[in-house]
Every structure is written in structure tokens, then in C-alpha cells.
Amino acid sequence: MTNQLLVIVQIAGRRCALSALDVKSVIEIGTVTPIPRAPAHIAGITALRSQALTVIDCRLALGIVQHAWPTDARAAVVAEGGHAYALKVDQIEDITTAIGEPGQVPGGFGAQWSRVATGMIETLTGPALLIDLSALIAGPDTLRHEAEAA
Amino acid sequence: MDDLLAEFIAETREMLEASSGEIVAWEADPADRARLDTIFRFVHTVKGNCGFFDFPRLAALSHAAEDALADCRAGRRDPDPQMVSAVLAIIDRIAQMVDAIEAGEDISNANPDGGDQALIDAVNVSRETSGEDGASAVKQGSSPRLHAPASALINHADDGATDRAVSSRRADPSATQRTIRLPVELLDRVMSGVSDMVLARNDLAHRLRQAGNQPTIDGPFERLTTILSDVRDAITRMRMQRIETLFSAMPRLVRDLSAELGKQVMVDLDGGDVELDREMIETIRDPLTHIIRNAIDHGIEPPSARLANGKREIGLLAIAARQSGNTIAIVISDDGHGLDEDRIAAKAIATGLISAAERSAMSRDKILNLIFEPGFSTAEVVSNVSGRGVGLDVVRQNLEKVGGSIKVSSQPGHGTLFTLQIPLTLSIIAGLTVEVSGQRFAIPQSYVEEIVQASTTALDLSHMGETALITFRGNRVPSLMLADVLGLDTSADAARDPTLVMLRLASGDLFALVVDGIHNHGDLVVKPLAPAVMKSGLYAGSTLLDDGQPVLLLDVANIAAAHDLVSDGRARALQPVADEAVKPAHALPRAMLFTDCNGRRSAVRLELVQRIETAPVSAIDCSGPRPRVVIDGLILPLIDLPDTAVPAAENAGRVRLLRLSDGACELLVAVRQVEDAVELAGPLIPVPEDPLAEAVTLVDGQPVTLIDAHELFARYGAPPVVAGRPRCSLPADDWARTILAPLVVSAGYEIVSPESADPDAITIVFDEVFEAAEALGRGLTGPVIRLRDRPEATAGSDTIYRYDRDALLSALTSAARFAHRPGGRA
């Protein structure tokens, strides 16, 4: 797994890595139909051919409400749990190769980042945060619910 | 009848195939409880099914086996080898008989006794003595193959009935339709491929329209469209079947069961046009049959008891199906004596399902739902019809296997209501697209009872606390604002002039959903939504419109439940009886009642009314000898418009129009207010003085003029004309031809040459040309758009930079309006 291919994206100004195996394609995002009363990080649904994609705003999925970053017109399409999602990020950079296994850093990444990150991973183009898709898609509410349950 | 028989044979054979493995395993280990249950259910189902065909031999055999197995289950008897053999012999015999039945032989004659009695005796005899005679009877009766029912189909046995059955089946293999089995996943893939193709076609169609008429392409494209829609239909049919195929067997089943049990039961079926997966239909067939059996056997009382309780002699069994996106709800309700909470609880404690302490902590609802636990039955007398408690636990098991659920609710003395929920991962449903606050949503058509468009006052909207009520056909109906439900901003427009979609739930409850407008209806391919979105409880799925725009499908049942609009009561079951009493023997002509613009109450036969339109006053063109209206791109004649602009003042610049059609021609009648559809019960009195009136009649004691449609269409009817596109002339240079023209065409304008001197055409010119023309005194007629070369505007001149797309388009729009408003030809 040392030569794992990664798609490097920017979320809220941070370099993040998605496993290239998870990313089905990168699309130009068209009209997004909003979903009333859905969780905030779900921006809506959009159509990819005859398929409906759920659009996830990655910044809001991390509980970051600021809009200080530009948003890429392209989105990464991923499949998780039998459903297809389009991830709205700051920018989709490039595909690169991982060096080594994901690891932790002293002090952690902060509550929200730790929730969605598998760990830090070194790549040919520098370090990036390896993202756990299911945690990212679940959105910021899950953390709170877990805290309440505990 | 033949259908039912074929189904019976197919089902029995399928179960035989499925249980053959179990039978072998059971023989190896007769103490295996799970196998015993499976075999027991098999013979139980056979017994139940053959009860309403006249197969006494099958019934006797399966009954004997069931008795023996029931004893084993109850622990009254140990499954010794003799008994196992005897039961297996009976199952083999059932397989032979099924073959014989399919071959069209009369099984009661083919083999008069056939040793049935010996088999039955063998099962019973071994109960007392495990002697030799039982075992030898088994050998005698069953021929040598004890646990290989499948071999009955291919072997060369000595049994005459089997031989003939097999040979006649072989002789004519082409008589039955050839089928193959396919993995469902493959079908799904083909189906989504076809959906993609439809979208690609729509996209292509859109581009072709933009490019204009191209005969060489249009022909093949038309053919492609036809083929594609054929393929789509076929694919859809591959998976879908109307639930009617299941329902059609119900009346017969109910009739036979009630006759057998000495009860009188009327069955009411609703929602037969709901379509669902073939697979699903097969899955719910047994559960449904079991529930109906239970309802008739245990639920509905004998006529004498019903009369004593002040009920109608005839019991009512209502079965209704509704589809909501990815689920189908089937509600089976009877008006019998309901479930007895205490008896269920006592039974559950007796069988050790719950403890007495647990019982006191349980709600009535929970106790009622104990009837789905394995090994539970409250019937005191075991009858031939509903069994020994296998019914409901199997029902639940089967439904849960496909991700469905079942629940029961009941009011003592009033009846029982079973609700089955069955999921559908992918389905095509008829849906209605509605708009609220600028966003579109889809509603499954099966819920939609009626669409009502009326003013707030006509609906008598009143607020009772938090709940809004409207009066609809004399009933107070709760209503929900869709915008509130979804938390969207309510537009003031909608509040004044709402459109109501009347929705009827599977439980029979009616409520109104207030929306801003209706778009259209059509087949929608429903796709599942991400779990986080489903959690909101408002949506059942998503679908794509023809233009590729995704739209959310509302989960009507869930929304209603969330607002407490669903009653568990008896509304549905009791209602049809009341309706029947009111309904007259023959259908009366129906008419649409309205108040015309002169305040006169009139009516027009309902069949003529295509729909009710609302058009802005600006869409009316009065320049010709007769006023006309543009609706949906068609020019239609308008009659009965008042001379003054009364409607403008009353309805905020809009006119209510009745769109009438005789099949070929369409025309519009302007009305002040549309009232309701009524039945013309009173006598029709001809009015020879007024050629446009067919008759005068009384509705609710008020005189109403019925419009003479023949005269109306003879005078005013005209086939609709497609409205022309606005025309535009462009500068004659390369830039305009290659860069400007496509933009103008795609905005919906027709390009004409400047020489045509069409006074309505919008002229786009460069500013220097315009100024030169002005200077020469040859000013241009009609609206003019002036373009400049440089982005910076020169002060004082009304020009647009030639690459400013937005400004150009808005100038075109306003110019078009200017060109058409005063005396244009629309």
C-alpha cells in the first residue's frame, strides 16, 4: 500500500488526500438542487447523466462556516455505502503517490479534523491529511451525537 | 380459474424445489426443529391452497401430514423413522399429483384410491404403534423414491399417473412460454443504461431544436426516439407488474373462504394499478393470503353475531395499495371484532414469550404486535382454513427478508388493520411535479385524488389552532402548506391564490397540500437518496426530469404521519358502504359549474373541459375580430371576455379560463370564478331563444345555463395555431452572421433579412449605421437595439456593448414585449 495513488484536494485551505480508488471521476458541477431540511453540509443533489449525486460541501462537513476560500467548479465523485456523492472542495490539485503509511502527529489535528482524518500521509508532493470518506460524508452532527450518547 | 390453477401448480412446485434439501436434511436428523418448521409450512400452505380448488385427495394428504407434524412441533410425538418416511411419501405423492394436475388429468379418476388412504394411515398408525404395517404401507404407497421429489419429473417410474403426466409434459414443450432466469443486478444495469440513453436523447433533441429543421437528421432521430421508448417500455415491463394480478385472485379466495366458514364477506380492492416488482409480487402473495385468511376466519364474526352487535350482516374486507417512492403500503382492514389484547397477552405469557411483569409494562400496541412472534396463535379451534400459528410469523419473516415490515392496529369491536410496507429499490412511478417557492418537487400520482385551484375564500380556509382546515365538497379537510413543511419562504402570490393537491393516504385519510403551482405529470424513475437525506423523513427518493434536472420525490405518507394526519381508525373500511348508499343507480351527466364574466351562473359538460388555465391579461390579444390568447405556445380563440377589464382588477392582472376541446379544436372561455363539478340531476329545459344555451337546469335550487357545445364549437372552434417566434433582423456582416446570430437564435428569435421590412421585427444595428440612417432621414421602423464596438459607453447615447451578453438579451426581451404589446400579432 506504500504506492497508493492519492487525489490531492484543498479543503478549507488544507491539503487533503483522497484514495484514488474511491474517486470515480471528477466532474464539472452543474445546477445543484437544494434539499430543504437536509443537514447543512448537504448542498443538494445534482445530475450526472441519469444518476443523482448528493453534493457534499466539505467545508461545512467539517463544521467550517467561513467562506474565505474559493470553490472549485469541479467536484470529485465518490461512492460510499452504495450511494454516489459529489464533493465540493476548494480546489482539486493533482494525483500523486503516497510514501509510507498514514501516521498521527503529536497534538492531533483538532476535533473536527481528527474525526474525518485517517492520519497524515507523506506524498511525493509533500504531506497531506488522508480523509476517511464515510466520516466526512456523515457530517459534523455525528460528533455531537456521539458525545451526547456518551 | 386456469390462471389460479397455473399459479397453484407453479407455487407448489417451487416450494417443492426449495424444500427438497430440507426434506433430505430432516430425514437425516428428525429432531431438527427448523427443518421441521419448514416442512410443516409447506404442507400447511398446500392444504390451504387446495382447499379452494376441488382437490380432496390433496387436501386429505396434506392435512394428515400437517396433523402429524403439528404433533411433533407440540412435542406430543417424536418424529420416528416411520413417521418421517410416511410424511416424505406424502410429499412425493403431492409432487406426482401436481404433475398430473398440470397435465390436465383428473386426479380423482386417474388413480381412484391410489393408495392415499394407506399413506394417511401410515402417518397416523405410527402414532400408536411403530409396527411393521405402517412401514409396509409406506413402501406400498410411495414407490421406491422416498426423498427425491425432483426425480419424479425425470424418472421412468411404474406409477401410471406419473408416467402419463411426465410424457404429456414432454410431448409439448413449446406450449408454455419460454423463460430464462436472470440476475436482478443485470436487469438493473440494463435499466439504468436505458435511462441514460433517454437523457442523452433528450439532450440531443434539445440541440437539434436549436439547430433548426434538418430533414436528413430528423427522420432517423424520430426513429431512434420511437425505438428508445419501445425499449424503455419493455425494460420497465420486465420488472414491473400491476398489483392487480395479485388482487384478481382475492375475490375468489374471499368468496370460497367465507362460504366455507359460513360468513358473509364483501371485499373492496383499491389501488390495483400500483405497479411493483415482479419479485415483490411473488414475495407478498403468501403473506397477503395468510392475512386475508386470518381476517375472515378470526376477525369477521358470523352474521348472527354481527347483527347482535349492531353491525351490518356482511363483513367488509378492504385491501388498498399505495406507492410512495421506494415503498409500497398495502393496508388490509376488516370490520370484525378486532384483536383481544388480554387474550393475546395471556397466550403470550402461557407460551413463555413474555413474563407477567413484562406484560404489565407493555403498551396495547406492543401486545397486539406479539401475534407476529413465532409459534403464536389465539384461535381456540383449529380449523381447516387458518392454521396453527404458522401464518403470521411466516408473514413477517417473508416481509423482513425483503426489507419490508408489517404492523397491526385494532380497535376492539370495530376491526383490525394490517399495514404492510414493502420497499422498492428502483421503480418507475407516475408522478406529479409541483412547484413551491421556486423549487420543484414530485408527488406520487397514486396519492393524488384531485387538484383544486380556487381562491382562499371559496375554500373557506380557516385556522383551528395550528391546523389549517379547508372545506372541500362539504367536508372539512386538514391542509398543509408545503412551503412550511419544507421550511421554505412562502410567496405572497401563493397565499392569495393557492393550488391544492388533494392527497388520499393508504389508510383512507384525505388531506390537502398547498403548493404554488402544478407543472406536469409523467413517469418518473425513482432513485434512492443518500441516508443522511432520507433521515429528514420528507423524501422518498430523487428523480430526473426530462431536461436532466434532479427533483426530490416527497414521502407523502411520512409527511402526513409527522403531522398526525393518519388515523388508525376505521375510516377506510367503513367509507365505501356509506358511498354506496348515496350513489344513484345510473350515472348522471356531470358539468363544470362557473360564474361567467357577466355574473351569470353557467355550466359546461365536464367531458369538454380540458383543464382550467390562468393567464395574465397581457397574454390576451384583442386586435383581431375575435380575442385570442397565447397559452403554452398555442394561439387559441377566447370567448365571453367582458368588454371592460374587470378581471384585471379582481385577480391581480390574471384571468381564469376554461379550456374546452372537442378533440380537434380548442377554445377558451373566460370566467369570473370556477365553482365545482356537479351532477346534473334536475330536468334540462331547452332554451330556444338563446342559441348558445343548450338548456337551463337547477343546481342546488339555483338556475344554471348549460352551454351548447355544438353551437359553441361551430361558431368559434379553430384548430390551435402555433405562435410565431419573435423576429429580429441583424446587421449584414460576418461578425453578426457568425457570432451574434447563434446567440439571438438560441434566445428564441427568428432571424429575418433587413430587406423584409417587417415592422414587428426587432432591428439590431451598429450605432454608426443607426446614426447615419437617422442623419439621412431614413429612420428605422419598429424597435431598435444599437450596438457599440467599445466597452465604454458614450454619454447620451442608448447603446449596448456588443459583447455584453446579459444586456443584449434583456434588451431583446424588452424590445419583443414592446413589439408585441400594441397591436402586434403575438
Distance CA B640, CA B707 (A): 12
The residue ranking higher by pLDDT, B164 or B459, is B459
The residue ranking higher by pLDDT, A14 or B756, is A14
The per-residue pLDDT for range A21-65, each reduced to its tens digit, is 888 888 888 888 888 888 888 888 988 776 788 998 888 888 877
User: Same domain, yes or no, for B328 and B231?
Assistant: no
Mutate to test the interface with B, among A50, A80, A133 (most CBs of B within 10 A): A50
The per-residue pLDDT for range B489-499, each reduced to its tens digit, is 766 555 566 78
pLDDT at position B736 over 70? yes
Distance from the Cα of A127 to chain B's closest Cα (Å) equals 31
Distance from the Cα of A17 to chain B's closest Cα (Å) equals 23
Distance CA A91, CA A104 (A): 24
pLDDT for B382: 46
pLDDT for B642: 54
Residue B192 contacts A where some CB pair is shorter than 8 Å: yes
pLDDT for B326: 62
**CB neighbourhood size of B174 (10 A):** 6
Residue B27 belongs to domain with CATH number: 1.20.120.160
Residue B434 contacts A where some CB pair is shorter than 8 Å: no
What are the structural domain ranges in chain A? 5-149
The residue ranking higher by pLDDT, B157 or B72, is B72
User: Same domain, yes or no, for B569 and B673?
Assistant: no
Give me the residues of A, 69-98, that contact B with CB < 8 A: 81, 83, 85
> B162: left (phi > 0), else alpha (psi -120 to 50), else beta?
alpha
> Which of B209-223, B416-430, B535-549 has the lowest average pLDDT?
B416-430
The per-residue pLDDT for range A111-137, each reduced to its tens digit, is 778 888 888 888 888 888 888 888 888
Report the chain B residue with the minimal C-alpha distance to residue A34: B439
Distance from the Cα of B553 to chain A's closest Cα (Å) equals 11
Contact yes or no for B530 and A49 at CB 8 A = no
User: Same domain, yes or no, for B638 and B678?
Assistant: yes
Structural domain includes residue B294: yes
pLDDT at position B483 over 60? yes
The angle subtended at Cα B543 by Cα B537 and Cα B546, nearest 5°, is 155
pLDDT for B162: 39
pLDDT for B528: 74
pLDDT for B682: 76
Cβ contacts of A22 within 8 Å, gap of 6 or more: A78, A79, A80, A133
Contact yes or no for A137 and B198 at CB 8 A = no
User: Same domain, yes or no, for B165 and B273?
Assistant: no
Chain A residues near residue B552 by CB distance under 8 angstroms? 33, 35, 45
Average pLDDT, chain B: 73
Residue B542 contacts A where some CB pair is shorter than 8 Å: yes
Last residue within a domain, chosen from B397, B423, B449: B423
Cβ contacts of B746 within 8 Å, gap of 6 or more: B210
Q: Identify the band that residue B30 occupies on the pLDDT scale cut at 50, 70 and 90.
A: confident
Closest CA relative to residue B48, chosen from B335, B296, B268: B296
Nearest Cβ partner for B486 among A37, A50, A83: A37
Distance CA B814, CA B798 (A): 14
Write out the residue range of the structural domain in which residue B223 sits: 184-242
pLDDT for B706: 83
Distance from the Cα of B747 to chain A's closest Cα (Å) equals 20
> Which of B163-167, B323-327, B567-571 has the lowest average pLDDT?
B163-167
Cβ contacts of B404 within 8 Å, gap of 6 or more: B283, B284, B420, B421, B422, B423
Number of domains observed in the structure of chain B: 6
User: Same domain, yes or no, for B366 and B477?
Assistant: no
Chain A residues near residue B439 by CB distance under 8 angstroms? 33-34, 36
User: Same domain, yes or no, for B270 and B405?
Assistant: yes
Q: Identify the band that residue B779 occupies on the pLDDT scale cut at 50, 70 and 90.
A: low
pLDDT at position B511 over 80? yes
The per-residue pLDDT for range B350-407, each reduced to its tens digit, is 877 778 887 888 888 778 888 887 666 555 444 444 444 456 777 777 776 666 778 8
The per-residue pLDDT for range B249-276, each reduced to its tens digit, is 888 788 888 888 888 888 888 888 887 7
Structural domain includes residue B431: yes
User: Same domain, yes or no, for B138 and B279?
Assistant: no
Mean pLDDT of B225-241: 80
Outline where DSSP puts E strands in B383-424.
405-411, 415-423
The per-residue pLDDT for range A95-117, each reduced to its tens digit, is 888 887 877 777 777 777 888 88
Q: Identify the band that residue B796 occupies on the pLDDT scale cut at 50, 70 and 90.
A: low
pLDDT for B638: 80
B100, B161 Cβ separation under 8 angstroms: yes
Distance from the Cα of B398 to chain A's closest Cα (Å) equals 24
Structural domain includes residue B585: no
pLDDT for B393: 73
Contact yes or no for B525 and A50 at CB 8 A = yes
> Which of B89-98, B155-164, B194-203, B281-290 has the lowest average pLDDT?
B155-164
Contact yes or no for A36 and B525 at CB 8 A = no
Check: complex ipTM more than 0.90: no
Mutate to test the interface with A, among B190, B435, B527, B555 (most CBs of A within 10 A): B527
Nearest Cβ partner for A50 among B528, B535, B544: B544
pLDDT at position B230 over 50? yes
Last residue within a domain, chosen from B362, B388, B423: B423
The per-residue pLDDT for range B612-663, each reduced to its tens digit, is 777 777 777 777 777 777 776 677 788 765 554 444 445 556 777 888 887 7
Residue B552 contacts A where some CB pair is shorter than 8 Å: yes
Report the chain A residue with the minimal C-alpha distance to residue B530: A83
Distance CA B654, CA B131 (A): 94
Contact yes or no for B533 and A54 at CB 8 A = yes
Q: Identify the band that residue B544 occupies on the pLDDT scale cut at 50, 70 and 90.
A: confident
Between the alpha carbon of residue B77 and those of residues B389, B802, B816, the distances in Å are 18, 97, 92
pLDDT for B177: 59
User: Same domain, yes or no, for B10 and B119?
Assistant: yes
Cβ contacts of B722 within 8 Å, gap of 6 or more: B633, B634, B635
Which fold does the domain A5-149 belong to in CATH? OB fold (Dihydrolipoamide Acetyltransferase, E2P) (2.40.50)
pLDDT for B473: 74
User: Same domain, yes or no, for B347 and B257?
Assistant: yes
Residue B490 contacts A where some CB pair is shorter than 8 Å: no
pLDDT for B705: 83
Structural domain includes residue B825: no
Report the chain A residue with the minimal C-alpha distance to residue B542: A52
The residue ranking higher by pLDDT, B46 or B164, is B46
Contact yes or no for B533 and A85 at CB 8 A = no
User: Same domain, yes or no, for B130 and B23?
Assistant: yes
Chain B residues near residue A33 by CB distance under 8 angstroms? 439, 549-552
The per-residue pLDDT for range B560-603, each reduced to its tens digit, is 878 877 654 433 333 333 333 333 445 677 788 888 777 778 88
Contact yes or no for A81 and B531 at CB 8 A = yes
User: Same domain, yes or no, for B441 and B536?
Assistant: yes
Mutate to test the interface with B, among A31, A33, A35 (most CBs of B within 10 A): A35
Query: Helices in B240-352 by DSSP H: which ranges?
Result: 244-247, 250-261, 278-294, 303-308, 341-350
Residue B770 belongs to domain with CATH number: 3.40.50
Residue B453 belongs to domain with CATH number: 2.40.50.180
User: Same domain, yes or no, for B135 and B158?
Assistant: yes
B241, B281 Cβ separation under 8 angstroms: yes
Last residue within a domain, chosen from B208, B227, B242: B242
Contact yes or no for A36 and B531 at CB 8 A = no
Q: Identify the band that residue B1 occupies on the pLDDT scale cut at 50, 70 and 90.
A: low
Nearest Cβ partner for A50 among B196, B486, B549: B196
Distance from the Cα of B482 to chain A's closest Cα (Å) equals 11
pLDDT for B639: 77
Mean pLDDT of B84-95: 80
What residues does B686 pair with on adjacent strands? B695
Residue B528 contacts A where some CB pair is shorter than 8 Å: yes
Mean pLDDT of B61-88: 78
